[in-house]
């Protein structure tokens, strides 16, 4: 049976739209209907402006009719994590602090998506200010995993992964500071790509940790990820950390890059705490690549055990400063009845932020405070150098690294109430952010209970084309991506 329209890939939909067998308006209506049918259970959306989306769809149809289709995303509904600015639309970061905030400007990725013809629709749930690994830290309530509604979709881009897996949108953008695209992609059985730091502009992304944050796509297929990346990547003069890199035609490159590749298996990523079903699925993926003629080599990233601590120091320190702007003065939640200016800050922030955000602000403030900077932040920045060197050294021997994305499949909502236990979900993903590398998660099987498992490929800086080609090779030989949750 052919997949439902709302489960089709961008490529498939693009072909239908181009052949005029489908209009953008019909597609948009189908997707809106799907959302209405299932989002009561999935709760992936914080908000959506259906009228605006239909107007964008009509404009897309008009462009196509006039022979002025913009690009490969023409007419494709793309949902955005609710930390990415869209002019005239709410931007809440899933926080009470920004519950009523409407962005007066577009993020650069938003501009780029529109330029590529996409219909920008939907504000997708996430952990508050992207802080979390389960999308339970949201002022709008948790999102459910479409494969098992009692479980989390992962996080922090859980809404982006769940909406996609549930067929409520055709592709999404998430943001990844320590695994926030890849881990939910793994837990929801979709493809998630975290680009090299600097490849995609951060302008318009509500910052969590500036030196780690990257926006990236979540898609049904690797080819779709290539299309989305092509639309959003590129130098942006509004982001000083944006890199002037060559942007190839990622979709076209998929066919040109055939391997065989030298793949490294970091031994530190297969230790205690790895779920056996996840481990087994990843072993099978390794076997696949070996069978394809790839060289498989065990490598060591000796500072892996320090990634978590390094990450939590750097990320929270930057966050404590980045989130200082949320004070209820110029915008955002303002407490009533504060007794003076200082109290207004403290009360507004106490009321506006949820517990995980507060915890991280406290931790970040502490590690930067007088007398502790050298012991924590400066030391973490140095260990970060060592972690980065580990990866770059491994790349002398291999083209990419292959690891599980998450040590465990989707866990139950409320199961991990201890912050530290939740932080451990990210152990395979945070090193990538510290080193600024590109990495991709793609489905590589299911647990016996039917939960998706993700395979992570970690690439070399700015070589997303290779990374996508490696993933594409795997995807072509497997049918995990054709399976969908029944809702």
Partner 1 sequence: MNYEAVIGLEVHVQIRTNSKVFSRVGAGYGHPENTLTDPVVLALPGALPVMNKAALDAIIKAGLLLGCEIAPVCKWDRKNYFYPDSPKNYQISQYDQPMCLGGAVEIELPGAARNVMGEHKKIPLMRIHLEEDVGKLNHFAADSLVDYNRAGTPLMEIVSEPAMHSAEEAFAYLTSLRATMIFGGISDCDMEKGQLRCDANISIRPVGQTTLGTKVELKNLNSISFVRDGIAHEIKRQIAVLSAGGTLVQETRDYDGQTGISQSLRSKEMAHDYRYFPDPDLMPVKVDEAWKANLRAECPELPFDKQRRFLDKYAVPYTITSVLVWDRALADFFEEAVRLGGKPQAVGNWIANDLLRELGAAKLPLAKSKVMPAHVAGLVTLIEAGTLLPNAAKEVFAEMFATGDQPAAVVERKGLRAAPVDVGELEQWCRDAIAANAKSLADFKAGKDSAINGFKGSVMKAAKGKADPKRVDETLRKLLAGM
Partner 2 sequence: MPAAPDLNLDHVAKLARLALTPAEKAQFASQLGDVLHHIEQLAKVDVTGIEPTAHAFPVVNVWADDVAQPGLSVEAALRNAPAQREHMILVPKVVE
Q: Which of residues 260-319 bind partner 2 (CB under 8 A)?
A: 303, 305-306, 308-310, 312-313
Contact code string over 195-234 relative to partner 2, x by CB under 8 A:
-xxx------------x-----------------------
Cβ-based nearer residue to partner 2, 260 or 419: 419
Can you state the angle between helices 10-18 and 222-232, rounded to 10 degrees?
Answer: 80
Instruction: State yes or no: residue 92 binds partner 2 (CB under 8 A).
Output: no
Q: Say which entry of partner 1, partner 2, none residue 455 contacts (CB below 5 to 8 A, set by partner kind).
A: none
Q: Say which entry of partner 2, partner 1, none residue 325 contacts (CB below 5 to 8 A, set by partner kind).
A: partner 1
Q: What share of the chain is helix, strand, coil (3-state, %, to 5)?
A: 45, 15, 40
For residues 406-435, which are near partner 2 according to CB under 8 A? 418-420, 423, 435
- Judged by CB under 8 A, the stretch of 34-42, 316-324, 458-466, 474-482 that binds partner 1 is 316-324
- Nearest-approach distance from CB 139 to partner 2, in angstroms: 16
**E strands of 273-388, at which residues?**
295-299
The answer to whether the beta carbons of residues 265 and 399 sit under 8 Å apart is: no
User: Cα–Cα distance between 286 and 306 in angstroms, integer?
Assistant: 26
Q: Residues with catalytic annotation?
A: 81, 156, 180
Q: Please give the full DSSP string across 234-268, using - where no structure is assigned.
A: S--TT-TT--------HHHHHHH-----EEEEEGG
The number of helices, as runs of H, and strands, as runs of E, in the chain is 16, 11
Tell me the site size for partner 2, rule CB under 8 A: 72
Out of 115, 297, 325, 483, name the contact with partner 1 by CB under 8 A: 325
Cβ-based nearer residue to partner 2, 59 or 335: 335
Residues sharing a CB contact under 8 Å with residue 225, sequence separation 6 or more, in sequence order: 191, 192, 193, 217, 219, 440, 468, 471
Give the CA count within 13 Å in the CB-facing half-sphere of 438.
26
User: Cα–Cα distance between 324 and 345 in angstroms, integer?
Assistant: 10
Instruction: State yes or no: residue 389 binds partner 1 (CB under 8 A).
Output: no
Instruction: State yes or no: residue 243 binds partner 2 (CB under 8 A).
Output: yes
- Nearest-approach distance from CB 177 to partner 2, in angstroms: 13
Using CB under 8 A, list all residues that contact partner 1.
83-85, 91, 93, 98, 101, 103-105, 107, 202-207, 209-211, 237-241, 317-318, 320-321, 324-325, 327, 329-331, 341-342, 345, 365, 368-370, 373, 377
């Amino acid at each position: 049976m052919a997949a439902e329209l709302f489960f089709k890939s961008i490529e498939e939909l693009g072909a239908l739209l181009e052949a005029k067998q489908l209009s953008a308006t019909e597609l948009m209506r189908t997707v809106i209907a799907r959302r209405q049918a299932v989002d009561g259970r999935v709760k992936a959306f914080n908000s959506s402006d259906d009228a605006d989306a239909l107007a964008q769809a009509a404009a897309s149809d008009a462009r196509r009719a006039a022979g002025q289709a913009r690009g490969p995303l023409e007419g494709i509904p793309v949902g955005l994590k609710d930390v990415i600015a869209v002019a005239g639309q709410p931007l809440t970061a899933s926080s009470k602090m920004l519950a009523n905030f409407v962005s007066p400007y577009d993020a650069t990725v938003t501009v780029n998506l529109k330029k590529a013809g996409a219909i920008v629709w939907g504000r997708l749930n996430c952990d508050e200010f992207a802080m979390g690994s389960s999308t339970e830290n949201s002022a709008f309530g948790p999102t459910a995993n479409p494969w098992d509604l009692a479980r989390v979709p992962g996080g922090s881009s859980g809404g982006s992964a769940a909406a996609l897996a549930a067929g409520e949108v055709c592709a999404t953008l998430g943001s990844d500071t320590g695994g926030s695209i890849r881990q939910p992609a793994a837990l929801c059985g979709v493809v998630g790509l975290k680009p090299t730091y600097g490849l995609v502009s951060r302008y318009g992304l509500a910052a969590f940790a500036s030196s780690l944050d990257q926006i990236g796509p979540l898609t049904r297929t690797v080819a779709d990820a290539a299309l989305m990346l092509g639309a959003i990547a590129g130098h942006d003069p509004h982001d000083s950390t944006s890199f002037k890199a060559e942007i190839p035609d990622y979709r076209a490159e998929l066919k040109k890059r055939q391997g065989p590749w030298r793949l490294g298996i970091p031994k530190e990523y297969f230790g205690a705490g790895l779920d056996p079903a996840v481990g087994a699925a990843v072993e099978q993926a390794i076997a696949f690549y070996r069978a394809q003629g790839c060289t498989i080599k065990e490598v060591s990233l000796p500072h892996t055990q320090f990634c978590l601590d390094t990450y939590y120091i750097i990320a929270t320190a930057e966050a404590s400063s980045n989130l200082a702007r949320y004070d209820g003065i110029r915008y955002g939640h303002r407490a009533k009845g504060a007794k003076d200016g200082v109290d207004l800050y403290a009360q507004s922030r106490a009321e506006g932020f949820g517990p995980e955000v507060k915890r991280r602000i406290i931790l970040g403030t502490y590690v930067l405070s007088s007398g502790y900077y050298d012991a924590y932040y400066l030391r973490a920045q140095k260990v970060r150098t060592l972690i980065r060197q580990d990866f770059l050294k491994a790349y002398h021997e291999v083209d990419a690294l292959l690891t599980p994305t998450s040590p465990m499949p989707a866990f139950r909502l409320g199961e991990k109430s201890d912050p530290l236990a939740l932080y451990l979900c990210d152990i395979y993903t945070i090193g990538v952010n510290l080193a600024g590398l590109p990495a991709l998660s793609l489905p590589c099987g299911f647990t016996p209970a039917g939960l998706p498992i993700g395979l992570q490929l970690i690439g070399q800086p700015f070589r997303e084309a290779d990374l996508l080609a490696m993933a594409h090779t795997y995807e072509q030989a497997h049918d995990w991506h054709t399976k969908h949750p029944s809702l």
